[in-house]
C-alpha cells in the first residue's frame, strides 16, 4: 500500500531504500545490529520488572480520527515512559565489572529516569548528565531516585561530550546511549510484541521518532511477525532528523531553528544503528507541527483525561494532522510513550491548544472613550456567551481618533462557529473591522 504525500511538507511515501546498507552508514556502525531474537530475549529478561501496559480502544478519539484507535499506555511505566524497557535490558546485559563501576548517560529526561529507577532496582550506580534545558520535573525525579545528576551544556550534544570526557574517560563508567545501542533498541522492541498480542489484527502503528530507537525496535518486532502492518513514524517539523536521514541514506544533523514542544524528540541526528534497522522497515514518515502537537496534548486531556508530554502525543498528532487519510476505518495503535511534562508547560500547551482550536482568540476593537463605550463591547461579548480572559485598553497610541479608545481582548469561545457569531455582532454594532486571531496570529 502506498501512502500519499502529506499536505504540510511531511515525507510520506514508501521510503524505497534498498536492503543493502549504504557504505556511509556501514562505516559508522560500531555494533552488530539487533535481531528479532534479541527483542524476544529482552522481553523474557525484563518482563518481571517492566509493566505490560494496557492497550485500549478510545471511543472518542476513534470518532475524531475516523480510525479504530487503540492507545498503548506506556506512560504508565513507573517513571512515566517506555524508556525503562531499553534501560533495564541494557543494564541487565552489563558484565559484573561494569555493573560495579556504574553507568553514565546524557539525557534530557526519560532515559535518565528509566536508568535511575532500574539502576537502583538492580544495584548499579547511575550518573546522568542533563542539559540545562531538561524539564524540571525530570531533573527532580531523577535526583529523588538516587542518581548522581549533573546539569551541563545547552543541549544533549554538549551534555554527551561532557559525560564522555569526565565520566567515561575520567571515571571509567560505561556509557549507555538512550536510543542507539542494540540492547536499547531490543528493549524498546518489546512494546511491539505486546501490541501484537493486544491488538492481533492491527493495520498500522504510528510511532514518535527522536533518536529512532523506539521505532527501530517496534518495527523489528512487528515487521518480523506481521509484515503487513504499516509502521509509520511521526517527528516534529522542527527536528525532522529521520526524514533527513532517509533522504541522505545515512544519519545527518539537522539544524533546529527553535525548541519543539516535544522535547523528547529533539534529537538532531538519529542513531546510526537505529536508522540502519528502521530505514527499510518503516513505511512512511509524517512531520508534525507544533500546533498539531499542542492540539494532540489537548485532545488527550479532554477526551481521555490523561496527560502526555509533547513527544508522547506525537503519534496522535500525526493522525489528527490529516496527513494519513489511508488509515480511515483501519485499526491503528499509537504508543502514548511519555507523560513527564512540567505542570507549567502543560498549562501553556493547553492554552495554545485552545488557541489552535479557535477556542481562545484575540482581537482589538476601537470603541468610544465616553462612559459606556467599553461596557458596550463587553456586553456584546457577554450576550454572545464568550468569556473575557484578558482585557487591556489604551488611548495614547490612537493618534487619529482622540474620542476613542482601543481595547485588546482575549476571549474564550466554544470554537470557530462561535467566533463567527461574535464577529457578526461586532461588525454590525461596533463597526469592527479587524481580524480575530488564534494560535500564531492565524486569522479566523
Ligand X SMILES: Cc1ncc(COP(=O)(O)O)c(C=O)c1O
208 forms part of the interface with ligand X (CB under 6 A): yes
Min separation Cβ 43 and ligand X, Å: 17
What does DSSP assign to residue 81?
B
Phi, psi of 127 (to 5 degrees): -115, 135
In the list 211, 284, 294, 373, the residue contacting ligand X (rule: CB under 6 A) is 211
Q: Would you give the end-to-end CA distance of the chain in angstroms?
A: 37
Nearest distance in Å: CB 312, ligand X: 4
Residue range at the interface with ligand X (CB under 6 A); choices 127-135, 149-157, 304-312, 370-378: 304-312
Burial class (CB in 10 A: 0-12, 13-18, 19+), 81: buried
Stretch that binds ligand X, among 164-172, 205-213, 381-389, 390-398 (CB under 6 A): 205-213
84 in contact with ligand X (CB under 6 A): no
Q: Which of 68, 292, 304, 309 binds ligand X (CB under 6 A)?
A: 309
Instruction: For 253-403, list the strands marked E by DSSP.
Output: 284-288, 331-336, 360-368, 387-394
- Residue 110 or residue 289: which is nearer to ligand X going by CB? 110
Closest CA to 291 of 237, 329, 345, 366: 237
Shortest Å distance, C-beta 28 to ligand X: 17
Counting beta carbons within 10 angstroms of the beta carbon of residue 56, is it exposed (0 to 12), middle (13 to 18) or buried (19 or more)? middle
Closest approach, Cβ 425 to ligand X, in A, equals 44
Which of 162, 167, 179, 432 contacts ligand X by CB under 6 A?
Answer: 179
Cell numbers for 152, please give them. Answer: 551541563
CA distances to 108, 299, 351, 362, 407 from 389, rounded to whole Å, are 34, 21, 11, 10, 13
Using the rule CB under 6 A, give the single segment among 207-215, 223-231, 326-334, 416-424 that binds ligand X.
207-215
Single out the segment in contact with ligand X by CB under 6 A; choices: 8-16, 282-290, 306-314, 387-395. Answer: 306-314
Per CB under 6 A, the list member of 114, 213, 353, 358 interacting with ligand X is 213
Q: What are phi and psi for residue 280, nearest 5 degrees? A: -100, -10
Q: How many residues make contact with ligand X (CB under 6 A)?
A: 20
For ligand X, which is the closer residue by CB, 178 or 373? 178
> Considering the complex, what minimum distance in angstroms separates the CB of residue 180 from ligand X?
8
Can you list the positions of beta strands (E) in 114-221?
126-130, 148-151, 174-175, 204-208
Q: How far is the CB of 366 from ligand X (least distance, A)?
A: 46
Please select the residue that binds ligand X; options are 110, 127, 137, 260, rule is CB under 6 A: 110
Q: Could you say which of 102, 236, 264, 268 contacts ligand X (CB under 6 A)?
A: 264
**What residue number has its CB nearest to ligand X?**
338
Stretch of 149-157, 209-217, 349-357, 431-439 lying at the interface with ligand X (CB under 6 A): 209-217
Per-residue buried b or exposed e for 384-419, using 16+ beta carbons within 10 Å of the residue's own CB: bebeeeeeebeeeeeeeeeebbbbebbbebeeeebb
CA distances from 374 to 93, 378, 430 (A): 69, 6, 11
- d(C-alpha 178, C-alpha 217), whole Å: 13
241 binds ligand X (CB under 6 A): no
CA distances from 129 to 103, 260, 317, 394 (A): 11, 20, 30, 48
Which is nearer to ligand X, 235 or 357 (by Cβ)?
235
Site string for ligand X, 311-350 (x = CB under 6 A): xx------------------------xx------------
Q: How far apart are CA 185 and CA 273, in angstroms?
A: 9
**Which CB atom, from 117 or from 179, has the smaller least distance to ligand X?**
179
CB closer to ligand X out of 133 and 364? 133
**C-alpha span between 423 and 196 (Å, rounded):** 50
Identify which range of 17-25, 47-55, 208-216, 387-395 contacts ligand X by CB under 6 A: 208-216
Helix-helix angle 182-198:213-225, to 10 degrees? 50
Element (H, E) at 382: helix 373-383
Q: Which residues bind ligand X (CB under 6 A)?
A: 81, 110-111, 179, 208-215, 264-265, 267, 309, 311-312, 337-338
Amino acid at each position: 500500500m502506498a501512502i500519499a504525500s502529506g499536505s504540510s511538507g511531511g515525507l510520506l511515501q514508501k521510503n524505497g531504500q534498498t536492503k543493502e546498507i549504504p557504505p556511509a552508514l556501514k562505516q559508522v556502525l560500531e555494533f552488530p545490529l539487533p535481531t528479532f531474537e534479541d527483542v524476544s530475549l529482552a522481553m523474557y529478561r525484563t518482563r518481571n520488572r517492566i509493566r505490560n501496559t494496557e492497550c485500549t480502544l478510545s471511543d472518542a478519539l476513534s470518532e475524531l480520527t475516523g480510525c479504530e484507535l487503540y492507545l498503548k499506555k506506556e506512560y504508565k511505566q513507573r517513571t512515566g515512559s517506555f524508556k525503562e524497557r531499553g534501560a533495564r535490558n541494557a543494564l541487565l546485559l552489563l558484565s559484573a565489572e561494569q555493573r560495579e563501576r556504574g553507568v553514565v548517560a546524557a539525557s534530557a529526561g526519560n532515559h535518565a529516569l528509566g536508568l535511575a529507577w532500574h539502576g537502583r532496582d538492580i544495584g548499579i550506580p547511575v550518573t546522568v548528565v542533563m542539559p540545562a534545558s531538561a524539564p524540571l520535573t525530570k531533573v527532580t525525579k531523577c535526583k529523588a531516585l538516587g542518581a548522581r545528576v549533573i546539569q551541563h551544556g545547552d543541549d544533549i550534544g554538549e551534555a554527551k561530550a561532557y559525560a564522555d570526557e569526565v565520566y567515561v574517560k575520567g571515571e571509567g563508567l560505561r556509557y549507555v546511549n538512550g536510543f542507539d545501542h542494540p540492547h536499547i533498541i531490543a528493549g524498546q522492541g518489546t512494546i511491539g510484541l505486546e501490541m501484537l498480542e493486544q491488538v492481533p489484527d492491527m493495520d498500522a502503528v504510528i510511532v514518535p521518532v527522536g533518536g529512532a530507537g523506539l521505532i527501530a525496535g517496534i518495527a523489528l518486532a512487528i515487521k518480523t511477525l506481521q509484515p503487513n502492518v504499516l509502521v509509520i513514524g511521526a517527528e516534529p517539523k522542527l527536528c525532522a532528523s529521520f526524514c533527513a536521514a532517509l533522504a541522505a541514506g545515512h544519519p545527518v544533523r539537522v539544524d533546529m531553528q527553535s525548541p519543539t514542544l516535544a522535547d523528547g524528540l529533539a534529537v538532531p541526528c538519529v542513531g546510526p544503528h537505529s536508522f540502519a534497522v528502521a530505514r527499510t522497515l518503516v513505511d512512511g514518515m509524517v512531520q508534525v507541527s507544533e500546533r498539531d502537537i499542542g492540539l494532540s496534548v489537548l485532545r488527550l486531556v479532554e477526551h481521555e483525561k490523561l496527560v502526555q508530554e509533547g513527544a508522547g502525543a506525537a503519534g496522535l498528532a500525526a493522525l489528527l494532522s490529516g496527513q494519513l487519510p489511508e488509515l480511515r476505518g483501519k485499526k491503528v495503535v499509537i504508543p502514548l510513550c511519555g507523560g513527564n511534562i512540567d505542570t507549567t508547560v502543560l498549562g501553556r500547551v493547553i492554552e495554545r491548544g485552545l488557541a489552535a482550536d479557535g477556542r481562545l482568540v484575540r482581537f482589538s476593537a476601537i470603541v468610544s472613550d465616553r462612559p459606556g463605550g467599553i461596557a458596550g463591547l463587553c456586553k456584546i461579548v457577554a450576550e454572545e456567551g464568550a468569556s473575557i480572559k484578558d482585557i487591556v485598553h489604551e488611548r495614547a497610541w490612537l493618534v487619529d481618533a482622540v474620542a476613542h479608545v482601543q481595547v485588546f481582548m482575549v476571549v474564550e469561545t466554544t470554537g470557530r462557529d462561535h467566533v463567527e457569531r461574535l464577529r457578526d455582532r461586532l461588525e454590525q454594532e461596533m463597526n469592527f473591522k479587524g481580524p480575530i486571531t488564534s494560535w500564531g496570529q492565524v486569522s479566523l
